[in-house]
Amino acid sequence: MKLYICLLMLMNTCFNYAFKKHEIPYSIVIAKADLIVDGTVSKVSKNEYEFTISQFVKGKSPVKIKVAIWEEWICDPRIKALKAGQRLILFLEKSPYGNFSTINGSTGEIYVDNDSFINIFLPKEFTNPKVLKEGITMFLQTYKVYGDLNDRFLQNIHFESNKSIFEIYKMKEDNKVFDFLSPISFYYPEVKYNLTPQFIN
């Protein structure tokens, strides 16, 4: 009986599907990011990879950067092995050591193959890299995000827009990613957004 109980406890710790990754909304990931880039992996080493940037979506840096390899776990596995030549869209924070790390593990590392995304768990609105990058640019041009972006529960986050509600709804029709990211969409009902439109002439 003791052996059975020990075995059951061991299996419960190894195969505990109650674990769930703490997802950060992409609107917050974009606001937190020092760098959002499209490019390819140049070289992979034990704890980091060299990344060659082909397009800057947010921020600036040298064309070649070092990115720390985030640690996989049961709720956040890597989509496929990192290798030279792999195209990625990265959402990065700069570390005090000068290299970069992805935001929220796999959330900040989007694999691209044949100009499409291979992660089936990505939002359905992320149809292709072009639409994603355009939507992010539209979001950055429209909203400023304020509050403690490191607060796990995102209690006091608010968005300020520099466009009217009518302009925003037109932009939402033009780009599905912008529609998804826009706080007016309320895709993340658990987050209490305080949307404060600022009409700037």
| Mean pLDDT in residue range 153-167 | 85
Write down the pLDDT at residue 154: 78
Q: What is the percentage of the chain residues whose pLDDT exceeds 70?
A: 81
Cα–Cα distance, 15 to 21 (Å, whole number): 15
- Domain match, 102 and 151 both: no
In a domain, 6, yes or no: no
- Domain match, 141 and 185 both: yes
In a domain, 5, yes or no: no
3-state SS, residue 78: coil
In a domain, 18, yes or no: no
Among the three residues 92, 117, 142, which one is the final residue of a domain in this structure? Answer: 117
Closest CA to 57 of 179, 177, 148, 147: 177
Write down the pLDDT at residue 8: 45
End-to-end CA distance of the chain: 75
Encode pLDDT of 71-80 as tens digits.
887 777 888 8
Write down the pLDDT at residue 10: 47
| Mean pLDDT in residue range 81-94 | 96
pTM score: 0.81
Q: How many domains, the chain?
A: 2
Among the three residues 86, 117, 148, which one is the final residue of a domain in this structure? Answer: 117
Cα–Cα distance, 164 to 17 (Å, whole number): 44
What is the extent of the structural domain holding 69? 26-117
- Inform me whether the pLDDT recorded for 95 exceeds 70: yes
Q: Which of the residue ranges 7-16, 68-77, 81-90 would you say has the lowest mean pLDDT?
A: 7-16
Cα–Cα distance, 24 to 174 (Å, whole number): 25
CATH of residue 90's domain is 2.40.50.120
Residue 57: what are its φ and ψ, rounded to 5°?
A: -100, -35
